[in-house]
Structure 1
Amino acid sequence: MRATLPGGLGVSLTATTPARPGLRVEAAGGGRLLIRQAERIVLLARQGARHHGVRYARTGGYRSPLPPITAAAARRVQETSPDAAVWAMRWTHRFADWLGAADQDGPLHRGRWTFAAGMPGWSISTHWDRLTRVDPDRGHVTWFGYGDPDDDLRDVLPLRRLTPAGHGRVRAWRRQARAGVLPPVLLWWVSGLQTLVLLDGHDRTVAALAEGGPPDVVVLAPADQGADRMRHEINGYVRRMRHLEAADVPAARLAVESRGLAEGVAGAVRAEGRTTAWPVRGGSREWERLAVRLAPGWDTGSRP
């Protein structure tokens, strides 16, 4: 089942299968996490003891669950979309269709999901600039602004190494960016990492940044069970409207409040929920064994 999000921001989707996806987060004790794709471990991570960030190690085994996007297909979507909102919605539906068919490599599993166009409100646009400058296979993602160094502050973590801007594949996407037909990239919210990971569009990301701007994005997230947040928005609106009506304010001011409610509800609907994590079979001992084998020499110790 699929429905449009308020304001045309994207779509919500209810998946009935599978119970356990091919691309999934697994967790062990002590803040240890990993992302598995089919039988491959694609990323290992460990949260800091003070919950200010997470250390990670990519293994190089990740592959996109989406089929390749041809230049001709990108051009057709652009040419048949009357405006940017329709263009974004068409790509959002395509991503949802493709992930629905990606049984062994995709993250969808039973439950409610959102595919939302655009970055979340908490993201910081300047963080994009760091992405192609500092993106090590073994690194650290800082949370809550505790950046040391500042390059650890990021909103997006690629699941494989980014291709240099001068590579042939990226140059082809750069031509599409200059022509205004570059497709958006697909991001996935992983709450255990407290960041968005790049599911599809690594080369498109580099191309967009090389051409002077961040890429358009679609964000996949488990739907937030946001009844409390929705109720807070509506109750706040009711209190403000009662106050304003008693003060006999102009109708234009009441319209502003109504638009504010619509924006607040839309934000609540697209809020990112908690990512389901399955247990690592073998627990912490198996996670440590995998870290030694897949990322030899990596410092997995906790970081403040």
Structure 2
Amino acid sequence: MLIRVEGPVKPGLRMESADGRRLVLTQGGVPVLFARQRVTWRGLHYARTGRYVSPLAPLRAELARTVAEFAEPGSEEWTERWAAHGAAALRSAEDGPLHEGEWHLAPDAQRWFMDVNWPKLLAHDPDRGHLTWFGYGDPEEDARDLLPLRALSHPEAPRVKAYRRQYREGTLPPVFAWWISGLNSPVVLDGHDRLAAALAEGGRPRVLLLSRAMDADWVALWAEGPTTEYAHRVASLDGPLGPTRVAHVSREFANKLRAITQAPALTRAWPFPGGSAAWDAAAAAHVPGWAPDAER
């Protein structure tokens, strides 16, 4: 789903940055996540403050059942309905991430999420931790594909148990996540307990990923190569199996174009007021004792 947004210019949930690869995610002016990229660009250190609140209203079980009755869970129509719900909720959210421009809210077209990394979230999700981007000598558990903005609830917590039942029934709504380029990771916007429920059941959640839409000129530029390749391949396909081969190549081409059109643009970050000194003071106040080793 493409979301066109006229405003605000500065959203309630936004990234801010300061010199020295310093980042902070603020919500309503309150820091909810501090992060500092490593000088080697191999990952970042982060610290949650425990102040994050989902900008979306809680999803009621009746809505989940209604959507599941209307469309097969996991189907394209089911996904579109949840994307429409999420888009409407984000538009009306006071402390959400939307600001003027175009956005995508869709399944992961880039195949970012790896099955091997899902179980790590349930076993290793510290409030102060490290995300590795390439894994060179870093702990294996730091290779995670999704960063919750608050601690995941216990698998036996009442709300999680209710969602676990929905997962077993096949009606569990998706998790809404937001791709943040400065973190090189999506964060959980809404659905922390749904995420915990799916993982507790030994599965993985369906995820709808919010990202800024790429500029049309960049999309056209990136599509030139695959389009030329597709034309050459189709022109060379003939014989009795020609139509079947063309159909296969066309599906591959459609998937490539979908990945290009839904590729996330860079996340906008606003300057942190007061610069690096103010960022250091804010980190000391909100996450005392956090001292990330970002120089390696």
* Residue equivalent to 2:164: 174
Task: Tell whether 2:17 aligns with 1:24.
Answer: no
Task: Tell whether 2:279 aligns with 1:282.
Answer: no
SS in 2 for 1:54: strand
Letter in 1 for 2:220: A
**8 Å CA contact 1:53, 1:303 repeated in 2:** no
Which of 106, 119, 126 in structure 2 is aligned with 1:116?
Answer: 106
Normalised TM-score (structure 2): 0.94
| C-alpha distance 266-119 of structure 1, shift in aligned 2 (>3 A) | closer
Query: Aligned partners of 2:256 and 2:132: how far apart in 1?
Result: 27
User: Within 5 Å, which residues of 2 pair with 1:233-248?
Assistant: 233-242=226-235, 244-245=236-237
Which of 51, 62, 72 in structure 1 is aligned with 2:62?
Answer: 72
| Structure 1, unaligned runs of 5 or more | 1-10
Task: Tell whether 2:68 aligns with 1:57.
Answer: no
| C-alpha distance 129-147 of structure 1, shift in aligned 2 (>3 A) | farther
* Residue equivalent to 1:13: 3
* Residue equivalent to 1:228: 221
Which of 77, 85, 88 in structure 2 is aligned with 1:97?
Answer: 88
Pairwise CA distance, 1:117: 2.1
Aligned residues: 292
The superposition leaves residues 9-38 of structure 1 with CA deviations (integer Å, 9 ceiling, x where unpaired) of xx0111111111000000111110000001
Letter in 1 for 2:222: R
Query: Aligned partners of 1:213 and 1:143: how far apart in 2?
Result: 24
Pairwise CA distance, 1:277: 0.5
SS in 1 for 2:131: strand
Pairwise CA distance, 1:143: 0.4
Pairwise CA distance, 1:233: 1.7
Query: Aligned partners of 1:64 and 1:111: how far apart in 2?
Result: 22
The superposition leaves residues 244-296 of structure 1 with CA deviations (integer Å, 9 ceiling, x where unpaired) of 15899723222222111111111111111100000001010111001111111
Query: Aligned partners of 1:231 and 1:223: how far apart in 2?
Result: 18
Task: Tell whether 2:250 aligns with 1:258.
Answer: yes
| C-alpha distance 82-130 of structure 1, shift in aligned 2 (>3 A) | closer
Pairwise CA distance, 1:82: 4.8
User: Within 5 Å, which residues of 2 pair with 1:140-151?
Assistant: 140-146=130-136, 148-151=138-141
Query: Aligned partners of 1:31 and 1:108: how far apart in 2?
Result: 23
Which structure 1 residue ranges, 4+ long, deviate > 3 Å from structure 2?
Answer: 245-249
| C-alpha distance 155-271 of structure 1, shift in aligned 2 (>3 A) | same
Task: Tell whether 2:212 aligns with 1:202.
Answer: no
* Residue equivalent to 2:150: 160
